[in-house]
Amino acid sequence: MSFDLETGALDASSPSEWPLPYPVASQPVVNTAPSIEAAPAVIYDKLILPGDFPDPTVTKIGDTYWASATSAEWGPVFPLLKSTNLVDWEVVSYVFPDKLPEWADCNFWAPEISHENGKTYICYTARKKGKRGQLCVAIASADDPAGPYTDHGPLVGQRMGSIDGFPLRDENGALYMVWKEDGNAFRKDTPIWAQRMNESRTALLGKKVELFRNDTPWEGCLVEGSAIVRQGEYFYMFYAGNGCCGKCCNYATGVARSKKLLGPWEKCPQNPILTKNKTWKCPGHGTVTEYEGRWFLLHHAYYTNSHEFVGRQGLLSEFTWNAEGWPEFVNSSPQAEPLRDLRVLNVDDNFPGNRLSAAWQWPVSEQPTVGVSDGQLLLTARSTGLGALVAQRTFTATYKAATTLDYGALAPNTYAGLAAIGDPHNALALVAGNGHLQLWHMQGKKHLTLTEVKLEDCKMLSLRLEAWGGSRFRFAFSTDGGTTWQPVVLDSFALNGTYLPPWDRGVRIGLLAQGPETTTVAFNNFALRNCR
């Protein structure tokens, strides 16, 4: 069953969940021999992690590829995805599904997944608790790549911050950690460091050694996101330079090489080797992998048409090795095509079973009390800010979303609604409560009610939002099961949501419950329809 955004009706002919197939495209290989039919050359350059999946990482364990990505301020923290072909992925679990590491509270960035001697390791960045908590590199481990993971705490946290850890062995088999010192946060250079690590991966040993830093014009204020692979007699470090995020980003990817891990390192004369084109902007921060003898970088980039409103999406870009031994990408830019059929990313959730689907997220600092029962999502209210939130990624800049809530069971002084959310402090929300419908505008610490409409008695109330270009929003409601929709009338045609996305994240669409923490709100469905 699915929710029709135009009529509000349930359509039994639609699947309850859209699969996420990204079929492998092909193109012919030119063959001049007329008697032999040429085999197609399979194209793997694709958008494989649509939506906000920054800083993706990938490794092969047995015959399965495992991936993760930055969570930033959304939980559950660090999704774990698996694939057998690098193209079709499913979320299996999370590194920290419901409890954060005791030492950390935010900035869950740049996981790096690796596997050795039967153990899977997640090297990640997070910020220590406390007023002056530093960014630190830490490690968690598991006997199964799907978890559960045991956190081993921070390995390094310099005064200016330490991020983007990458563990590997040097030419002699000694275990090292490579990371970036986050000097750009203090208008300083950003050295890439390496230091020995013990075999249990719980402590660094000896002294750190600088490999290189940002010293060429294209790298701008930083180098970061190291991913190292050994090919032939060299270590190759793929890394990102310049500004990662937001509408003014100028990120790109470079590569350096060295015969020994501790250097000397030589930067490629053709850097940056991966940069923007008309379709994708600011490609960077990825991990190298192989498939069927071919080489790929899984990295993020902004889709130009939706940019910061959707966020940095996960792309697979193939490269080859040139005669001088350097990696090369076609046209030095991502060749992935945008998804042709956005319907594969539509969402229909009627809350079957007894737990939320893995697509739902929440603010890491405000994990809600949420459950699923008898076809309803049950969200316990929170009295501060927007209230308790659960949300899903958006995939395009133009879309519609809707939900139906059990309005007749709504407790006094409790509000329930549908919202476009940048973070818990920046949102546009249509909410119902106390016999009224309100449109909330929250920007920073300023919370305004833009309009209020008196509601007639009804058992079920449907709410809908529409977005254009990522930044323009309109809202509507229905009290008759979606037979008729009434727009929320404003002074302007649409609300301006340009301010919504934070510098490093895309917009989510969420359900909220605001009010006494003794009350619970019931939602009957959620639907998202993507448009060009």
Task: Write down the domain spans for the chain.
Answer: 56-285, 343-531
Cα distance between residue 433 and residue 405, in whole Å: 11
105 is catalytic: no
Query: Is the model's pLDDT at 15 over the cut of 50?
Result: no
Q: What is the pLDDT, as a whole number, of residue 66?
A: 98
Could you tell me the pTM of the whole model? 0.92
301: buried, middle or exposed (CB in 10 Å: 19+, 13-18, 0-12)? buried
Q: What is the pLDDT, as a whole number, of residue 441?
A: 97
SS3 74: strand
Q: What is the pLDDT, as a whole number, of residue 195?
A: 98
Cα distance between residue 351 and residue 374, in whole Å: 8
Cα distance between residue 273 and residue 55, in whole Å: 18
Please indicate whether the domains covering 56-285 and 343-531 agree at the CATH topology level.
no
Q: What is the pLDDT, as a whole number, of residue 42?
A: 87
Query: Is the model's pLDDT at 37 over the cut of 90?
Result: no
457 is catalytic: no
Q: What is the pLDDT, as a whole number, of residue 84?
A: 97
**How do residues 186-204 score in pLDDT, each as one tens digit?**
999 999 999 999 999 999 9
* Helix residue ranges, H only, 212-333: 307-310
Distances (CA, A) of 328 to 17, 175, 274, 295, 323: 39, 29, 8, 10, 10
Query: Is the model's pLDDT at 19 over the cut of 80?
Result: no
* pLDDT confidence bin for 35, thresholds 50/70/90: very low
Find the catalytic residue in 45, 52, 55, 164.
55
Find the catalytic residue in 52, 112, 181, 224.
224
Query: Is the model's pLDDT at 2 over the cut of 50?
Result: no
Q: What is the pLDDT, as a whole number, of residue 477?
A: 97
Sequence-separated contacts (24+) of 120-127 with Cβ below 8 Å: 120/61, 120/66, 120/144, 120/145, 121/167, 121/201, 122/68, 122/78, 122/95, 122/149, 123/165, 123/166, 123/167, 123/177, 124/78, 124/95, 124/165, 125/162, 125/163, 125/164, 125/165, 126/101, 126/154
Q: What is the pLDDT, as a whole number, of residue 5?
A: 61
Domain boundaries 56-285, corresponding CATH code: 2.115.10.20
Candidates 110, 117, 120, 112; CA nearest to 146 is: 120
Q: What is the pLDDT, as a whole number, of residue 8?
A: 45
Query: Is the model's pLDDT at 6 over the cut of 60?
Result: no
Which tops the pLDDT comparison, 445 or 59? 59
**How do residues 392-428 score in pLDDT, each as one tens digit?**
999 999 999 999 999 999 999 999 999 999 999 999 9
The percentage of residues in the chain with a pLDDT greater than 70, rounded to a whole number, is 92
**How do residues 40-91 score in pLDDT, each as one tens digit?**
678 999 999 999 999 999 999 999 999 999 999 999 999 999 999 999 999 9
* Helix residue ranges, H only, 376-425: none
Q: What is the pLDDT, as a whole number, of residue 449?
A: 97
Are 406 and 388 within 8 A, CB to CB? Answer: no
Amino acid at 46: K
Q: What is the pLDDT, as a whole number, of residue 41?
A: 75
| 3-state percent breakdown (helix, strand, coil) of the chain, nearest 5 | 5, 50, 45
**How do residues 475-528 score in pLDDT, each as one tens digit?**
999 998 888 999 999 988 899 999 999 999 999 999 999 999 999 999 999 999
* pLDDT confidence bin for 30, thresholds 50/70/90: very low
Q: What is the pLDDT, as a whole number, of residue 350?
A: 97
Domain 343-531 falls under CATH 2.60.120.200: yes
Average pLDDT, rounded, for the chain = 92
* pLDDT confidence bin for 31, thresholds 50/70/90: very low
What is the separation, in whole angstroms, between the first and last Cα of the chain?
24
* pLDDT confidence bin for 39, thresholds 50/70/90: low
Query: Is the model's pLDDT at 250 over the cut of 80?
Result: yes
